[in-house]
Amino acid sequence: MKSKHLKISFGLFWALCMIFVMSPASFAETVSSPELSSYTFMVYLNGTDLESEDQGDGTVAGAGSNDLDEMMAIGSEPGVLNVVVQTGGTKQWRNTSISPETNQRWYIKNNEMELIEDVGQVNMAEPETLKDFIIWTATEYPAEKYVLALWNHGGGAHGGYAHDELFEDKSTLSLADIRTALEQASGQSGIAFELIGFDACLMATIETAYIVSPFTKYFIGSEETEPGHGWNYTPIFQKILDDPTISGDKLGEAIAQGFREQALEWDTADETTLSVINAKKIGPVIEALEALVSKAGTDIDEPAAYVEFAKGRNKAEDYGNSGGAHGDSTDMVDIGNLAKQLQNQHPEETSNIISALNNAVVFNLTPPEKKPNATGLTVYLPCKDKEGFEDKLTNYKEINFSPVYTEFIEKYGQIVVSDTTGVELEDSNPASTSDQENSTAGSSNILSSAASAYNGEDITLPSKSFSNSNIRVINFNKPVDANTIFINENIYITNDKNGTSTPFLIEKYELTDNNTKLTLTTKDYFEPGETYSIYIKKDISSKEIKSTDGKTLKDNYKMVFTIISEDRFEIKIKESDISKVNMIYSVLGQYYDNNTKIRFLGMDNDVDFDETTGIVRDNFDGTWVQLGGQFVSLFLMDENDGKYSYSVPIKLNGQDMDLQIIYDTNTETTSILGAWKGIDPDTGLSDRNIIKLKAGDIITPMFYSYDLVTDKDEDIPGEPFTVQDPTKLELQGDYLPQGEYLYGFYIEDIAQNDTCSEFVDISLLD
């Protein structure tokens, strides 16, 4: 038996040898390693609502499917580029080849997706899932260089990245989870990345760079929220095919450039930030940051130093700030801009931060209009979200970022949270205890004159006004010649201060009410107590109103008037609290329903604040902002060099949104960025979709309302309107309708405490 067994075994062995000899190709395929490519590009595509959200027309958003289309426009090329994608995390895919019931791994070819493996339904927000994808891809598709793109929502340092909408816990892949996945993948496979990037919002943080720095040469991410289209993968892959030896920093730059070019096509360029970081140069930035907070951490024990540091923090540029009616904040602040705001207090430390940051940031997209101070990296520093500080701190400590910095933000955050007093006010002025009456043509900034004879005599015109107006309204007792009025050389205004006549530049005129009412707008402002002269040419045939030297004034009618100061609503902040003021807003409300309810029209910063005396005065002129011909509730978010960012709560086609708007006072132009849902309260992740307005959209302005009888509040709709041409939609001021209004001041201090003044009732009359 034994010899027979040996004989059979020998026969089998001989047969197998013959097969291998006869089929060398089959043998090579069985035992050889996969072909080594120049690049393997991994995309961890966690679809969530970016893919599945219902668009209201029977379709889904399909942002992930759109990016897959961009990938397939180029696809893989054997020996050069492998494009490998894992899909999952969403309830429905627009690309029907992908199953929402399971996670799948795909090899992307030109115009084709090849399903390689089905791994079952696993949570895309678990580090184990990410680790397995990295190891599997590195094993199956080895390359000289690897890229990992993490695709989904982002929430900054404490919010992490992505949640899986197929799982109810709403947990995200935290930075600590990402480190775990990368550590285990690196330990088990030996993989090192050329570039790790986040095609997601708010992930260009120094904490993220710190987490990925042991595993990659370069890192790319966005400081601000990303528009829904995200990166453009077509030019990225083409760049690799054109230059298979391309380095991670140059590839990152190509990603950023393609991102901006697509944003220009999609009209989202005002929202785009993207920076490429040399991960090996993050250490000096952290060291410089530690030096700053070590010094500041000692200084803030002194109240004055705390106030100055907090002022700098409040002024520095923030990211992921919902504000408006759906207020929330990630408290992620630009590191370079923070250093700039603190440079007077800590010149050496902030200079070192800026120098180290410039060395680490190898490419930074030109900052957009929305966030002009983006320098490449943010850091978590408590400010606006006092209520969420403890939860954010707990998440933050799990990162194991710099112990020095973590200790500082815990100390500083606790000081801010415990500071609950707010600023105190002196006794209100008499205007706060009595009603004010204003006409919509003669209140606040509008200077209104009494009717006067147009007879060529010197006339002193009584005028009541608030100061700093540049508008003059003149009422005539008979019609005037429109041709006379509307020729530029026919009107001349001088300020007769100190016996001299300084000419005013007139910007525009308006003759109304059957040619009996003239409204002049000047470049300069009329001031209380000053005397002015207006010269108007008698008729067209008479001589010029002024000679070339601008001094000879003859053959014209002359009117002299003196601006008389009128009481303005004012408050006074206690001297000891003046330095603690961060922002002062005017708040306007409108009575309705027989004056039993108030709807609030919003907040603006058009107030006069004397930082020496602490006096705050109103600039209310009887007007408010309209959009699409309807008054809206307006909330000021921030201001940079005359560019004001506003948030307007609306319903867009029935969905609650905040309309993001920038108004440039330098050019008097409006930029409507789009509608945004803000920060998800369950996941802490920022909505990536800034929805552009289109013709046919229905906008319903929303207002916060308070019932004086029941002591209850609610959000109420205003008058809806349909967008005709979104490019012509602008913020425009207009006079409020006749009625009863409420006006007051809202003061925010450096610790985000709010103080409300007494409110005054204002009657606006036709």
Rounded to whole angstroms, the Cα distance separating 378 from 321 reads 13
Answer whether residue 556 shows pLDDT above 60: no
Task: Find out whether 562 and 571 touch, Cβ atoms under 8 Å.
Answer: no
Handedness of CA 583, 586, 590, 591 (dihedral sign): positive
Q: Say yes or no to pLDDT of 635 above 70.
A: yes
Alpha-carbon distance of 159 to 663, in angstroms, equals 30
Q: What tokens does 511 get?
A: 């003759």
**Helical packing angle, 389-397 and 403-418, nearest 10°:** 170
Assess contact for 363 and 195: CB atoms under 8 A. Answer: no
Residue 399 three-state SS: coil
- The number of beta carbons lying within 10 Å of the beta carbon of residue 543 is 12
pLDDT of residue 433: 33
Q: Quickly list DSSP for 25-73.
A: HHHHHHHSPPPPEEEEEEEEEE-HHHHH-B-SSS-B--HHHHHHHHHHT
Q: What is the pLDDT of residue 85?
A: 98
The phi, psi pair for 727, rounded to 5°, reads -70, -15
The residue with greater pLDDT, 437 or 700, is 700
Under the banding of pLDDT at 50, 70 and 90, the label for residue 480 is low
Residue 427 has pLDDT above 60, yes or no: yes
Q: What is the DSSP letter of 142?
A: -
* Residue 70, token pair as written in the block: 């961009």
CB 87 within 8 A of CB 93: yes
Per-residue pLDDT of 160-198, as tens digits, reads: 999 999 998 878 999 999 999 999 999 999 999 999 999
Where do the structural domains in the chain lie, given as residue ranges?
31-417, 436-565, 569-765
Q: Which residue has the higher pLDDT, 111 or 484?
A: 111
Whether the pLDDT of residue 582 is over 80: the answer is yes
Residue 468 pLDDT: 40
Place of tokens 């309209």: 626
Least trusted range by pLDDT, from 507-511, 615-619, 663-667:
507-511
Going 249 to 251 to 255 to 257, the CA torsion angle's sign is: positive
pLDDT at 24: 40
- In the prediction, which pLDDT does 435 show? 38
pLDDT one-digit tens code per residue, 354-395 = 999 999 999 999 877 788 899 999 999 999 999 999 999 999
DSSP 619: -
Please tell me the distance from the alpha carbon of residue 482 to that of residue 614, in angstroms, as a whole number: 47
Cα 200 to Cα 259: distance, rounded to the nearest angstrom: 12
Structure tokens at 335: 């590191």
3-state secondary structure 543-612: CCCECCCCCCECCEEEEEEECEECCCCEEEECHHHHHHEEEEEEEEEEEECCCCEEEEEEEECCEEECCC
DSSP class per residue in 701-741: EEEEEEETTT--EEEEE---EE-S-GGG--EEEEEPPSEEE
Helix, strand or coil, per DSSP, at residue 354: helix
Residue 95 DSSP class: S
Mean pLDDT score of the chain: 83
In the chain, pLDDT over 90 holds for what percent of residues? 61
Task: For domain 436-565, give the CATH number.
Answer: 2.60.40.1220
Phi, psi of 657 (to 5 degrees): -145, 170
- Under a CB-based contact definition with an 8 Å cutoff, are residues 459 and 453 in contact? yes
Sequence-distant (≥ 6) Cβ neighbours of residue 693 within 8 angstroms: 652, 672, 674, 675, 699, 723, 726, 729
Q: 3-class DSSP state for residue 697?
A: coil
Residues paired with residue 531 on neighbouring β-strands, in sequence order: 562
Cα of 310 vs its chain's centroid, Å: 21
pLDDT of residue 447: 25
Whole-angstrom CA distances from 174 to 129, 178, 213, 364, 553 are: 13, 6, 16, 25, 75
d(CA 289, CA 351) in angstroms, rounded, equals 11
**Residue 91: count of CB within 10 angstroms of its CB:** 15
* C-alpha distances out from residue 288 to 293, 354, 375, Å: 9, 9, 16
Strand ranges in 78-111 using DSSP code E only, listed in sequence order: 81-88, 103-109
Please write the tens of the pLDDT for every residue from 246-267.
999 999 999 999 999 999 999 8
DSSP track, 289-328: HHHHHHHHHHHTTSHHHHHHHHHHHHHSPEEEE--GGG--
For 103-132, write each residue's pLDDT tens digit.
999 999 999 999 999 999 999 999 999 999
In contact, 719 and 207? CB cutoff 8 Å = no
Task: Sheet containing 630-631: give its strands across.
Answer: 630-631, 623-627, 731-735
Query: Model pTM greater than 0.75?
Result: yes
* 555 pLDDT above the threshold of 80: no
Length of the chain: 766
Assess whether pLDDT exceeds 60 at residue 678.
yes
